[in-house]
Amino acid sequence: MNGRLGILGFGRFGRLVALHLKTHFDVVVYDRKDRAEEAADLGVRIGALREVASCAILVLCVPISRIEAALEAVAPHLGAETLVVDTCSVKEYPVALMERVLPAHVDILGTHPLFGPDSAADTLQGKKIVLCPVRLRSLRRVVAFLRSLKLDVMISSPESHDREMAHTQAIVQFLGRAFLEMGLTHETMATPGYERLIRILEVVQNDTWELFHDLQTFNRFAGPMRQRLIESLSLIDERLGG
Amino acid sequence: MNGRLGILGFGRFGRLVALHLKTHFDVVVYDRKDRAEEAADLGVRIGALREVASCAILVLCVPISRIEAALEAVAPHLGAETLVVDTCSVKEYPVALMERVLPAHVDILGTHPLFGPDSAADTLQGKKIVLCPVRLRSLRRVVAFLRSLKLDVMISSPESHDREMAHTQAIVQFLGRAFLEMGLTHETMATPGYERLIRILEVVQNDTWELFHDLQTFNRFAGPMRQRLIESLSLIDERLGG
């Protein structure tokens, strides 16, 4: 693949996208904030919103809660065959928005890269990405390109994705927040299992409250999952005579 | 160290003790069940309860709930200077029992090996063991011997041990049971954090309900820890508008 690729939102994840794609595309980025320094660090160009939106491919790297505003802002400026790609950790909500807000002439692809700036700083090798194809002239071409980056590509419906994420990613984050709230941390007498658990939960504790909140509230399966976890723990506590 | 070492209880943990100590001691074992096959496999001898109890060192490898009965059974047969060692995952309860039930002439050492038949099958190198010295002619000699086995030796009071374990080992097991109850397992779209979490919880899911129950109920800090975890999760769920 080649041509111009626009990145909307140049926070930590947008910069990760630029890092891995700048050798494959002419990358141009836009952020509401001044990101001149970060762009210079990565050797990519900052452009106007209008230019970024008109690229052959537009990758949205904004928080879930700002995706609607972002879509409305780019919609009038999209190219005739622009492929719009979102990267949100939930899929039903942004995919529905893209279908509603974006003009019929553009291609739409929902994605959830199951990695972040920490886990994929060095390599994408073996990292997972879930694709939810919405309207796409050539899914095969996209999949082949992502596989050439050594990514493990999975195809899913937005609903299946969100259902599975509620019971995997969202539960880990939920536990991470609870451990933070309880002040649980490394302990000298810890068992190997606890040490590993704390290391996992420390990673998700780095997430902002905004990311945590969005993942738990924009995924309609996350609330019931949280309830089930609380109920399961309460049930076991009762069985123990607690 | 040398001489005769008795092991009371020849389940999985008792066999792990025999495996690592048989080159250092003349090991003799006793179990209520017929363990002739397991003893032959390890090349150790089965003896009468009376013989096992009279060894220079007696290591108790019975479940926490059977420790009182075991202590009462061995008490009349203990040698003049026998060192009685328990290996329970809680410490206040068995240490108090040993102090009450055992005769004044024996030495008493509470221990909690923070490893099991799975994690220490090959080596003890770097594995942790917590010691709660109760009455001991030479703690230094015991510590030196355990260090010669490459163990990481920690000294604690029974109370500090139980308090810390409630917030480490017990919480991992509690979560493991809840995940089992919820039917959570490996998923294709899992994030790296979730994959690692499931692998940790699978290990504790191998524990028997008896071991889980004992660890949660014979440790007086475990109940309050379970309550705090449930409360923290409920609080965060509420903050999310759950």
pLDDT tens track for A184-196: 988 888 888 899 9
The 3-state DSSP class for residue A76 equals helix
A125 touches chain B (CB under 8 A): no
A239 token code pair: 């069985």
Q: Which of B63, B85, B10 is nearest to B214 (CA)?
A: B63
Q: How confident is the model at residue B1 (pLDDT cuts 50, 70, 90)?
A: low
Task: Please tell me the distance from the alpha carbon of residue B126 to that of residue B117, in angstroms, as a whole number.
Answer: 15
Pick among A125, A233, A234, A239 to test the B interface (most B CBs inside 10 A):
A233
Per-residue pLDDT at B242 exceeds 90: no
pLDDT tens track for B81-127: 999 999 999 999 999 999 999 999 999 999 999 998 888 888 999 99
Question: With an 8 Å Cβ cutoff, are A189 and B130 in contact?
Answer: yes
Closest chain B residue by Cα to residue A232: B178
B positions 222-241 inside 8 Å of A (CB): 223, 226-230, 232-237, 240-241
Predicted model pTM: 0.88
Taking the CA of residue B112 and the nearest CA in chain A, the distance in Å comes to 10
The answer to ipTM > 0.95 is no
Question: With an 8 Å Cβ cutoff, are A168 and B189 in contact?
Answer: yes
The 3-state DSSP class for residue B96 equals helix
At A242 the pLDDT is: 57
At A2 the pLDDT is: 61
A220 touches chain B (CB under 8 A): no
> Which residues of A fall within a CB distance of 8 Å from B237?
223, 226-227, 230
Strand partners, B45: B28
Residues A48-75, mean pLDDT to the nearest whole number = 97
Residue-averaged pLDDT of chain A? 94
B60 token code pair: 């108790």
A241 vs A52, residue with greater confidence: A52
Q: How confident is the model at residue A29 (pLDDT cuts 50, 70, 90)?
A: very high
Q: Which of B74, B159, B220, B53 is nearest to A240 (CA)?
A: B220
CA dihedral for B18, B22, B24, B26, sign (positive or negative): positive
At A204 the pLDDT is: 81
Residue-averaged pLDDT of chain B? 94
Phi and psi torsions of B182, nearest 5°:
-85, -10
Q: Which of A115, A105, A114, A65 is nearest to A84 (CA)?
A: A105
At A1 the pLDDT is: 55
Question: With an 8 Å Cβ cutoff, are A172 and B154 in contact?
Answer: no
Q: How confident is the model at residue A90 (pLDDT cuts 50, 70, 90)?
A: very high
At A147 the pLDDT is: 97
Residue A79 and residue B154 in contact, taking contact as beta carbons nearer than 8 Å: no
Report the DSSP pairing between strands A128-135 and A152-155: parallel
Of A26-30, A182-186, A206-210, least confident by mean pLDDT is: A206-210
Residues A226-241, mean pLDDT to the nearest whole number = 96
Question: With an 8 Å Cβ cutoff, are B114 and A229 in contact?
Answer: no
Share of chain B above pLDDT 70, in %: 99
At A118 the pLDDT is: 80
At B36 the pLDDT is: 95
Residues A215-241, mean pLDDT to the nearest whole number = 96
Per-residue pLDDT at A76 exceeds 90: yes
Per-residue pLDDT at B129 exceeds 60: yes
Of A114, A188, A213, the CB nearest to B191: A114
Q: How confident is the model at residue B77 (pLDDT cuts 50, 70, 90)?
A: very high
Residues B144-163, mean pLDDT to the nearest whole number = 97
Closest chain A residue by Cα to residue B164: A189
Closest chain A residue by Cα to residue B190: A168
> Which residues of A fall within a CB distance of 8 Å from B115?
192
Share of chain A above pLDDT 90, in %: 85
Q: Which of B211, B57, B216 is nearest to B137 (CA)?
A: B57
Share of chain A above pLDDT 70, in %: 99
Question: With an 8 Å Cβ cutoff, are B172 and A156 in contact?
Answer: no
B156 touches chain A (CB under 8 A): yes
Task: Please tell me the distance from the alpha carbon of residue B198 to that of residue B44, in angstroms, as a whole number.
Answer: 37
pLDDT tens track for B4-26: 999 999 999 999 999 999 999 99
CA-derived radius of gyration, chain A: 20
At A5 the pLDDT is: 98
Per-residue pLDDT at B2 exceeds 70: no
Q: Which of A191, B151, B38, B120 is nearest to B7 (CA)?
A: B38
Residues A203-225, mean pLDDT to the nearest whole number = 92
